[in-house]
Amino acid sequence: MKKIPTLFLRDFDARPAYVIPEVDPRCRWVIDGEGTATRKYDGTCVRLDRTGRWWARREVKPGKPTPPDYETIGSDPVTGKTVGWEPVARTAFAKFHAEALANSGADEPGTYELLGPKINGNPDGFAVHVLMPHGWSTPSVRQDYATAPRDYTGLRRWLHARPYEGIVWHHDDGRMAKLKARDFPT
pLDDT one-digit tens code per residue, 145-154: 999 999 999 9
Question: Is pLDDT of 2 > 80?
Answer: no
How high is the pLDDT of residue 105? Answer: 81
Q: What is the DSSP string of 143-157?
A: HHHTT---SHHHHHH
DSSP-derived letter for residue 97 is: H
Mean pLDDT of 171-177: 93
Mean pLDDT of 33-47: 94
Question: Is pLDDT of 93 > 70?
Answer: yes
Decide which of 140 and 136 is more confident: 140
Cβ neighbour number for residue 176 with a 10 Å cutoff = 19
Q: List the chain domain ranges.
A: 8-44+92-183
